[in-house]
Amino acid sequence: MSLKERSFEKWENDWIRLRWGDGAPLLRMDFDVCGAVRAATIHATALGVFELRLNGDSVDDIHLPPGWTDYRKRVYVHSFDVSDRIVPGKNVLGALVAPGWFAGFFGPFGDRGYYGHDAWFSCELVLEYEDGTFETIRTSPEWKGALGPISQADLLMGETYDSRKEISGWDTPDFDGSKWKPVSVLREGDERLPESIEPYPGEPIRTIAELPAQSVSEPSPGVFVFDLGQNMVGVARLKIDVPAGTEIVLRHGEMLNDDGSVYTENLRSAKAIDRYIASGGEEIWQPRFTFHGFRYVQVEGLPAGCDPALDTICGVVWMSGLKETASFECSSEKVNRLFSNIQWGFRGNYLDVPTDCPQRDERLGWTGDTQMFIRSATYLADVQSFFKKWLVDLHDAQHPDGGYPDVAPFMGRLGYASAAWADAGIICPYVLWQAYGDTEFIRPWWSQMKNFMALICTDENRHNGPNAQSFGDWLHFNSETPTRLIGLAYRAYDARLMSEMAAAIGEENDRIFFEAEAEKSRDLFRCEFFQGSEIAVKTQTACALAIAMDLLDGEDLEKTKDCLFQGLEEHNVYLTTGFVGTGYLCPALTKAGRCDLAVQLLLNEGHPSWLYEVNNGATTIWERWNSWTEEGGFGDVGMNSFNHYAFGAVCEWMFESLAGIRPASPGFQTLEIVPCFTDRLDYVKASYDSVQGRISNQWKKTSSGWTMELETPVPATVILPNGTSQVEKGRHIFEVPA
């Protein structure tokens, strides 16, 4: 076993912190190396977040390790190979530690220190010498600490940095730290200690891009607003040359007020303010222990008469370091902008956990948003390790009665077993298995998934019982769908997915059971959806769920299709769906044989629609269809994010129907290519880097119909209006008459 593969079942290292002070204190330990080192590995973690230093430099380029978990149950360790960084003689191991999710503000309830009130750091450096002996440098009472330049470090509130208080060389061997203060140690058995310490299974947060400011304005004297041109998540890097003691204030926002200042009312209690106190001369700084969702940065405090250069501000984009796997382009530049908006919403909200929004005082791992978007996410990037980590968070938060939570990692005051939210426990493993062909997304959780199904398949339950309580079709547009109906739809859908997964993992008895349960649940849905022979619930969402989830047959299905078509026509082919219905609407229309209506929804530019947002300057997906309107301005300030990916779930349809790329078997071992040809677009082309290799498909309009070019690494069934073809891997061209 290599040093980096070490088991952490027995963690013998102390948890340390400075005895006083907020912000991010400095911690250090001198040690001597007396022989030739073959290998050196640091294993580090925190109740909070940390940055690790060795001999004057940062050990790695990741941000906010060890990530967010339910710290009472588990905390993760990050391992770093530092073999080439150890020098003969004296060395220094150092760290900065900040509150992060453990002890800082997070969530919509004004909570601070939900898991604990102070940040703690713990690590070990394991040295393997050439003679085969080992030495371990651990966190212990021998470490020393001091207050540094970071006096505030909070994920929601921001970071304050006084560069006059920098301690030069504090993490280098030549520094004399003898007068630093002793650290405090968390005693064994303390209730703040986690039950389990494990290797980090996910993708750490990294810088994925830098966005130079596109313009700067001065809405009022001495107040400068920098526009990055793109709503993003991360931090702003500041470059200044001002007198010592000058305090620069950075305010972050996604939109502008009418007077040109940065709009921050929708952030609620999250201040999202960074402060920098200059030491004089040219200085460059970016925060370490906070992040913001923003397009605009408002800079205040520059000396009178200062005319800041455009490079005063640069956006530094953070995201879990996922390999992006998708491209999409068509003849409509507005649709291309929509795809870009979906990508940026995904990037901004896949930051260690799949959050609902990255800017206000929430940023929670809402399970409903996650399951609604996950199929789109599997096209946009390789999310395997990201979700292996989050599925642990999800099951750590599962209620003893089997109910999956509204958010994961766990946070109190929120519920369990909410229809369309709790179903993430079934849908996410299924979608991941379909995307990557790996049943290890299912096997570890099978018994817990069955516990959830046992709960929701009872007569009386919160999910779909007579008194069902959930968020319903959240943020629908004046078209409410009963929560019980939504719950019954998901109950039947979950049971069908469970039967398929049971077959995949060889659980034959479970396959038979859930196949029968799926039929029983379909009957329950039909009884709720219909009154006799008439449809009782005629919302777009209800009809879309019935069609997309295969909940009806025969005449019932045909009536439901007609109901959906009529419902759209009553609204001039505009949607009324919320979080639950929107992702299913275009797939349901395509399945019902009306791809033309799905295309119309995509291309609509009035309100409400995706392109209405594009036309009004959106660079990410909005939380509400009316987050901003020409008539009413900003929407409900109590809940109005301009970076919320749920409505971006149309991305799934753009790949699987408009471009026609969809798996015919788990892991894209075979394909089904069924493109949605339309004369509303001149061309569509898309590619996806699947686990089998790159799949690309493009079609373009011709004088007589369409030409389609497919590149596939696996056999594919190609279904076109003029017939079906079976093709092997390689390049294939098809001529399709109009």
- 3-201 shares its CATH topology with 206-320: yes
| Structure-model confidence comparison of residues 7 and 30, the more confident one | 30
Measure CA 73 to chain center: 22
The 10s digit of each residue's pLDDT in 375-433 is: 999 999 999 999 999 999 999 999 999 999 999 998 887 899 999 999 999 999 999 99
CA–CA separation, 431 and 415 (whole Å): 24
First to last CA, the chain: 62
Q: What is the DSSP letter of 163?
A: G
Indicate the pLDDT class of residue 1, thresholds 50, 70 and 90: very low
**Per-residue confidence at 3, pLDDT binned at 50, 70, 90?**
very low
Q: Average pLDDT of 700-720?
A: 97
The rounded Cα 142 to chain-centroid distance in angstroms is 39
Residue 421 has what pLDDT? 98
> CA angle at residue 690 from 689 to 696, to 5 degrees?
55
Q: Which amino acid is at 445?
A: W
pLDDT of 179 > 50? The answer is: yes
Specify the CATH superfamily of domain 206-320. Answer: Galactose-binding domain-like (2.60.120.260)
Phi, psi of 36 (to 5 degrees): -75, 130
Do the beta carbons of residue 582 and residue 599 sit within 8 Å?
Answer: no
Query: Could you tell me which residues are beta bridge partners of residue 737?
Result: 705
**Top-level class of domain 326-656:** mainly alpha
Instruction: Identify whether the C-beta of residue 697 lies closer than 8 Å to the C-beta of residue 660.
Output: yes
| Fold entry, domain 3-201 | Jelly Rolls (2.60.120)
If we measure between CA atoms, which residue out of 443, 368, 360, 362 comes closest to residue 404?
368
Among 106, 196, 178, 170, smallest CA distance to 142 is for 178
Q: Determine the 3-state secondary structure of 486 from DSSP.
A: helix
Q: What percent of the chain has pLDDT over 70?
A: 99
pLDDT at residue 474, rounded to an integer: 97
Q: How far apart are CA 31 and CA 338, in angstroms?
A: 54
Contact indicator for 308, 606 with CB cutoff of 8 Å? no
| Whether residue 2 has pLDDT greater than 60 | no
**Residue 6: pLDDT band by 50, 70, 90 thresholds?**
low
| Res 264: pLDDT | 97
CB atoms near residue 104 (< 10 Å): 25
pTM of the model: 0.97
Q: Domain-by-domain residue ranges, the chain? A: 3-201, 206-320, 326-656, 671-737
pLDDT value of position 5:
55
Task: Give pLDDT tens digits for 486-537.
Answer: 999 999 999 999 999 999 999 999 999 999 999 999 999 999 999 999 999 9
Quick check: 426 and 449 in contact, CB under 8 A? yes
Whether the predicted pLDDT of 342 surpasses 50: yes
> How large is the average pLDDT for residues 128-135?
96
Question: Annotated active-site positions, please?
Answer: 362, 623
Closest CA to 99 of 290, 365, 356: 290
Mean residue pLDDT across the chain: 96
Separation CA 415–CA 106 (nearest Å): 17
User: What is the pLDDT at residue 107?
Assistant: 81
Q: State the CATH class of domain 671-737.
A: mainly beta
User: Which residue in 352, 493, 467, 470 sits closest to 405, CA to CA?
Assistant: 470
| Integer Cα distance of 77 and 8 in angstroms | 8
Q: Give the mean model confidence (pLDDT) for residues 618-647.
A: 95
Q: What pLDDT band is residue 189 in, cutting at 50, 70 and 90?
A: confident
pLDDT of residue 123: 98
CA atoms within 13 A on the CB side of 45: 23
What confidence tens digit (pLDDT) does each residue in 582-629 have?
Answer: 999 999 999 999 999 999 999 999 999 999 999 999 999 999 999 999
Go through 307-343 and write b for each residue having 16 or more CB atoms within 10 A of its CB, e for each that does not.
Answer: ebeeebbbbbbbbbbbeebbebbbebeebebbbebbb
Confidence of residue 696 (pLDDT cuts 50, 70, 90): very high
- Whole-angstrom Cα distance, residue 514 to residue 499? 5
pLDDT greater at residue 29 or residue 410: 29
